[in-house]
């Protein structure tokens, strides 16, 4: 195959300019005038693609030869760069670049490349009918001259492919559109160096990945680069940053890099340029960045993970369409999963927020700047029946294996607790096996060893024993110990489990095969913090890498990093020659790591063990995550808190709306509460308060205080100040160590005139905010007194303020306005100013917008109670007198 062109075969020499691709297509069409139209069109397409590749990558004069013989089409495209080998890309349906060679592979009957001393020729042939001869393999060329090996640790290969695809598209557009490159500020010299380096990276990375088996989330690659490539890597980074700025201005057709792609690209180029200049490597998993810039899940996106997630989860593509949803999310919003897939996300968003959502989503795609990525935002979701469901929304991006970015959203409901961890078979929540007994051996038995060179069926008992241990108890600690016991019988001398807790690492379990071996308690508990200086495998795995194979365990004392030192001390005490450290992944996050260690007398772990260990640990992680979520106090605390919040009374002349948003940073229950109820005479009581503390005692005190206040208000209606004084006295008697803030307000008809008066008193609480329909907003500062629990003998003042029709009264807790490092006055001013802009919005929109604006960064619970009078009909004078 790939015979030389016959004498007199049509040829054309073309300059390395963008227009040459179009000229080459016209040339092929004219040279093949007698060929069947289908073959001619295919040849024209492939010639255009290969000439485009030569223009972009070879940057020299291109010679095109095309001819037909015996009904077959032959094409040869030559360039003067034999050192510039071809870099075939994987076929990725969403890729905007890298399709040229893939099209040749797909459409040509035979193809290949020949390299000589001063030229390189890419050829293909098209036959009209099968059978076709074997296709040829592409010839690749490694870097010439002196080289340096660069260590790229923990590369998420899906993220790398997405980043490569994005920057190749940007460079292609700059190269083929010089006017656009000029507007972007990319000088021809820098652009040429950037394109050269891009090709070098693609070729070198492709060669390195081929030497690996990407069965794990990340790859640690040893990549050979030309020793003098550091300046070109810097130039590539600068050109790509300029391309991002041009894309944000709309000067490019390609979209700017998303935050995680931009962060990864900068890390990759800095590692290449830095290590070529003599600096030490830094693993990707140890890089920190702003929310949304460093994805928490490094594995390629898989729709099955969404369906299996324990929390309501929805995934959408960059067209804002839902591509996967689990049963929990669909049930929460009143849909079936099948009905939601394919719909736009706006189907789940209240109407008053849709325009903002579309604007924010488009802004992310068009600017690459995140607004809510990586943050937990309180938002209302739209139920299929039309009402809103308060949720906390956490959105992260994840790269798919085909090169696209997927937006994965988890919805934490704030109206009900999650599904129970175990459910009867047949129920919608029956996704986990029911627990059953497991019988652990009481005596030491000879360890059974499974290795990859044995039949895979010999691994099945290990998987079965592990599954039995996971399903034997709902307790997380006991599950860890039983699973580790199984692993020490089958796979390792000893193993350990480390868990992440809000960025801190705790060693929760260590199990040795010898049950008589005493493991000092000093090795358990909190580990030293992860630092940027560590290069050890455990911090990298906790960052998302792995599973990692460790075959060279250093002796203690060879590290200055405290966490590394603790790890090496444990290995020195328990022994070990090889180890595998694997991440424990839950829903969109790594929550821990499992360490398996073999002693010197045992067969060492090898690279071939990694795929099966990875599969085993995936199942273990699911079981441990189920127990972890089952024992997570956040859901239970939230459910308890919600059970203590009342239903709002219905009154024809009033609109009442309440919101409660748990803190995004604490798993403890709080003391915030609101209340509203009607007295026997028809007056409406409004209450909001906050008991000090974030624990069960605070919740109990809050419930007691709320119920006492209800009883006092109904039993003996008095001015609000007197009611709070009696509440303070009762609190001193029943809860002498508890303190609380509270606003007690009473709505009364102003002498039958149809207008409402607000009678109110405050016990150390933030003042109510009154906003008129005209946009005037002020705090009702009068009627203020001491906290509940300070001094029940001090008289408490009452105040009275008129409530104009269509005005908005807002009672709120301090979580709405208090921020660390900011004075309370600033927070109150921001709230007053923003509430004034919402004066004419519906009351639901008013509350939702306040939560969106101020609730995203809140570190405390937030409770809101909003009221809007619609106007009372005036009573006749005689009736007013009787009422009086």
Domain boundaries, given as residue ranges, for the chain: 11-126, 147-286, 303-413, 456-631, 636-869
User: Quick one: pLDDT at residue 2?
Assistant: 59
Structure-model confidence comparison of residues 404 and 292, the more confident one: 404
- Comparing 303-413 with 456-631, is the CATH topology the same? yes
- pLDDT, one tens digit per residue, over 317-345 is 988 899 999 988 999 999 998 899 999 99
CB 203 within 8 A of CB 87: yes
Residue 435 reports pLDDT greater than 60: no
How are beta strands 218-226 and 147-156 bridged, if at all?
A: antiparallel
State which H helix or E strand residue 464 sits in.
helix 460-470
What pLDDT is attached to residue 421? 33
In this structure, whether the domain defined by 303-413 belongs to CATH 3.30.470.20 is answered with: no
Q: What is the largest distance, in Å, between two alpha-carbon atoms of the chain?
A: 118
Q: Which of 140-144, 369-373, 553-557, 769-773 has the lowest mean pLDDT?
A: 140-144
Average pLDDT on 777-806 reads 92
| Percentage of residues of the chain with pLDDT beyond 70 | 85
667 touches 632 (CB < 8 A): yes
DSSP state of 109: S
Residues 505-547 have pLDDT tens digits of 999 889 998 888 887 777 888 888 887 667 788 888 888 887 8
Provide the mean pLDDT of the chain.
82
Poorest-pLDDT segment among 442-451, 640-649, 789-798, 832-841: 442-451
DSSP per-residue letters across 7-61: TT--EEEE-SSTTHHHHHHHHHHHHTTTS-HHHHHHHHHHHHHHHHHIIIII-S-
Give CA–CA dist 710/708, Å, rounded: 5
Q: Across 586-699, where does the E strand assignment appear?
A: 590-598, 654-661, 672-678, 684-691
pLDDT given at position 674: 92
Question: Stretch 238-255: mean pLDDT, rounded?
Answer: 90
pLDDT over 90 (residue 62):
yes
DSSP characters over 251-304: -SSSPPPPHHHHHHHHHHHHHHHHHHTTPPP--GGG---STTTS-S--SPB-HH
Q: What DSSP string runs through 700-740?
A: HHHHHHHHHHHHHHHHS---HHHHHHHHHHHHHHH-TT--E
Give the model's confidence band at 615: pLDDT under 50 very low, under 70 low, under 90 confident, else very high: confident
E strand or H helix at 771, and its extent?
Answer: strand 769-771
Q: Comparing 644-648, 676-680, 772-776, which segment has the lowest mean pLDDT?
A: 644-648
Q: How confident is the model over 585-594, as a mean pLDDT? A: 84
The three-class DSSP label of residue 154 is strand
Give the percent of the chain with pLDDT over 90: 32
pLDDT at 419 over 50: no
Q: What is the pLDDT of residues 88-144, one digit of tens each?
A: 776 566 666 777 888 888 888 889 888 888 888 999 999 877 555 555 566 666 666
Residue of 378, 481, 409 whose CA lies nearest to 438 = 481
What local confidence, expressed as pLDDT, does residue 267 receive? 94
Q: Give the Cα separation of 190 and 139 in Å (integer).
A: 28
Q: Which residue has the higher pLDDT, 698 or 31?
A: 31
Res 441 pLDDT > 80: no
Out of 170-184, 344-358, 509-523, 688-702, least confident range: 688-702
Identify the top-confidence range among 450-454, 496-500, 778-782: 778-782
Integer Cα distance of 98 and 89 in angstroms: 6
Q: CA 151, 157, 160: angle at the middle one, nearest 5?
A: 85
| pLDDT for res 836 | 96
Q: pLDDT grade, residue 664 (50/70/90)?
A: low
The predicted pLDDT at position 727 comes to: 92
pLDDT score, position 390: 86
Tell me what pLDDT residue 404 has: 83
pLDDT above 90: residue 821: no
C-alpha dihedral sign at 784, 789, 794, 798: positive
Bigger pLDDT: 542 vs 555: 542
CATH number of 11-126: 3.30.565.10
- Determine the pLDDT at residue 451: 53
What pLDDT is stored for residue 414 in this prediction?
56
Strands 756-763 and 784-785: parallel
Q: How many CA atoms lie within 13 A of 583 on its CB side?
A: 27
The residue ranking higher by pLDDT, 699 or 821, is: 821
**Architecture in CATH for domain 636-869:** 4-Layer Sandwich (3.60)
What confidence tier does 438 reach under pLDDT thresholds 50, 70, 90? very low
pLDDT in tens, 190-227: 888 898 899 889 888 888 888 776 566 788 889 999 99
Q: Report the pLDDT value the prediction gives residue 767, as an integer from 0 to 100.
A: 96
**743: pLDDT strictly greater than 90:** yes
What is the homologous superfamily of the domain 456-631 according to CATH? GAF domain (3.30.450.40)
Per-residue pLDDT for 378 more than 70? yes
**Can you give the pLDDT at residue 642?**
61
Q: Of the ranges 180-189, 457-466, 627-636, which one carries the lowest mean pLDDT score?
A: 627-636
Q: Report the pLDDT value the prediction gives residue 430, as an integer from 0 to 100.
A: 31
What pLDDT sits at residue 758? 95
Strand segments (E) across 775-832 = 777-779, 784-785, 799-803, 808-812
Instruction: State the pLDDT at residue 668.
Output: 52
Dihedral, CA atoms, 485, 487, 489, 495, nearest 10 degrees? -70
The least confident of 307-321, 438-452, 691-705 is 438-452
In angstroms, the CA 27 to CA 22 distance is 9
Report whether 738 contacts 731 (CB < 8 A). yes
């Amino acid at each position: 195959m790939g015979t030389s062109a016959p004498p007199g075969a049509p040829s054309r020499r073309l300059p390395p300019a963008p227009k040459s691709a179009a000229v080459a297509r016209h040339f092929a069409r004219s040279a093949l005038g007698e060929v069947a139209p289908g073959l001619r069109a295919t040849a024209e397409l492939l010639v255009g693609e290969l000439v485009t590749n030569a223009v972009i990558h070879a940057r020299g004069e291109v010679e095109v030869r095309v001819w037909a013989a015996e009904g077959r089409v032959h094409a040869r495209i030559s360039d003067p760069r034999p050192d510039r080998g071809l870099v075939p890309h994987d076929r990725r349906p969403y890729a905007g670049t890298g399709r040229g060679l893939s099209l040749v592979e797909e459409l040509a009957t035979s193809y290949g490349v020949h390299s000589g001393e001063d030229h390189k020729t890419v050829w293909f042939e098209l036959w009209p009918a099968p059978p076709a001869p074997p296709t040829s393999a592409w010839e690749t060329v490694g870097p010439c001259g002196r080289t340096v090996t660069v260590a790229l640790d923990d590369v998420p290969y899906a993220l790398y492919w997405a980043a490569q695809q994005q920057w190749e598209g940007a460079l292609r557009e700059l190269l083929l559109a010089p006017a656009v490159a000029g507007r972007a500020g990319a000088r021809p010299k820098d652009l040429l160096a950037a394109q050269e380096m891009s090709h070098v990276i693609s070729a070198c990375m492709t060669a390195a990945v081929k030497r690996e088996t990407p069965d794990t989330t990340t790859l640690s690659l040893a990549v050979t680069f030309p020793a003098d490539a550091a300046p070109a890597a810097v130039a590539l980074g600068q050109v790509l940053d300029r391309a991002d700025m041009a894309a944000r201005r709309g000067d490019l057709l390609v979209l700017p890099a998303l935050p995680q792609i931009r962060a990864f690209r900068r890390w990759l180029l800095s590692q290449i340029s830095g290590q070529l200049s003599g600096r030490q490597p830094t693993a990707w998993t140890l890089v920190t960045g702003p929310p949304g810039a460093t994805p928490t899940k490094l594995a390629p996106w898989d729709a099955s993970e969404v369906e299996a997630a324990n929390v309501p989860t929805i995934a959408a593509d960059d067209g804002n369409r839902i591509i996967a949803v689990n049963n929990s999310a669909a049930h929460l919003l009143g849909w079936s999963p099948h009905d939601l897939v394919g719909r736009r996300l706006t189907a789940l968003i209240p109407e008053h927020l849709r325009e903002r959502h579309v604007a924010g989503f488009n802004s992310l795609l068009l600017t690459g700047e995140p607004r809510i990525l990586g943050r937990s935002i309180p938002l209302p979701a739209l139920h299929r029946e039309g009402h809103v469901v308060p949720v906390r929304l956490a959105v992260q991006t994840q790269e798919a294996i085909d090169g696209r970015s997927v937006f994965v959203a988890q919805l934490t409901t704030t109206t009900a607790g999650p599904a129970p961890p175990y459910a009867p078979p047949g129920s919608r929540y029956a996704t986990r096996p029911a627990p059953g007994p497991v019988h652990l051996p009481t005596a030491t038995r000879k360890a059974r060893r499974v290795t990859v060179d044995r039949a895979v069926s010999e691994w099945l008992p290990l998987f079965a024993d592990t599954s039995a241990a996971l399903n034997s108890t709902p307790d997380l600690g006991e599950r860890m110990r039983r699973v580790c016991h199984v692993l020490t019988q089958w796979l390792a001398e000893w193993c350990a489990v480390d868990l992440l807790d809000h960025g801190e690492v705790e060693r929760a379990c260590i199990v040795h095969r010898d049950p008589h071996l005493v493991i000092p308690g000093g090795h358990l508990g909190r580990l030293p913090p992860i630092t940027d200086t560590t290069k050890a495998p455990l911090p990298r795995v906790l960052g998302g890498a792995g599973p990692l194979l460790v075959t060279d365990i250093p002796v203690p004392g060879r590290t200055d990093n405290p966490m590394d030192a603790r790890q090496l001390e444990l290995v020195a005490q328990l022994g070990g020659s090889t180890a595998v450290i694997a991440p424990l992944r839950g829903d969109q996050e790594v929550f821990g790591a499992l360490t398996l260690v073999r002693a010197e007398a045992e067969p060492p772990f090898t690279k071939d063990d990694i795929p099966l260990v990875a599969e085993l640990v995936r199942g273990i992680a699911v079981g441990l995550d189920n127990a972890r979520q089952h024992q997570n106090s956040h859901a239970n605390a939230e459910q308890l808190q919600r059970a203590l919040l009342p239903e709002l009374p219905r009154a024809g002349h009033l609109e009442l709306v309440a919101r409660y948003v748990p803190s995004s940073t604490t798993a403890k229950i709080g003391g915030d509460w609101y209340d509203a109820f009607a007295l026997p005479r028809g007056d409406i009581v409004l209450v909001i308060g906050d008991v000090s503390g974030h624990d069960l005692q605070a919740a109990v005190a809050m419930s007691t205080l709320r119920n006492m206040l209800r009883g006092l208000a109904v039993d003996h209606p008095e001015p609000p100040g007197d009611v709070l004084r009696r509440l303070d006295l009762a609190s001193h008697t029943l809860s002498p160590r508890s303190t609380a803030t509270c606003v007690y307000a009473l709505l009364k008809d102003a002498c039958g005139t149809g207008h409402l008066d607000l009678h109110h008193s405050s016990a150390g609480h933030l003042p109510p905010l009154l906003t008129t329909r005209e946009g005037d907003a002020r705090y009702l500062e009068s009627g203020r007194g001491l906290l509940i629990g300070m001094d029940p003998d001090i008289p408490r003042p009452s105040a009275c303020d008129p409530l104009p029709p269509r005005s908005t009264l807002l009672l709120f807790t301090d979580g709405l306005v208090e921020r660390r490092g900011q004075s309370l006055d600033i927070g109150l001013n921001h709230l007053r100013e923003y509430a004034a802009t919402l004066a004419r919005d519906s009351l639901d929109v008013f509350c939702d917008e306040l939560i969106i604006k101020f609730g995203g960064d809140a570190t405390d619970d937030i409770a809101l109670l909003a009221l809007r009078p619609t106007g009372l009909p005036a009573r006749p004078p005689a009736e007013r007198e009787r009422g009086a």
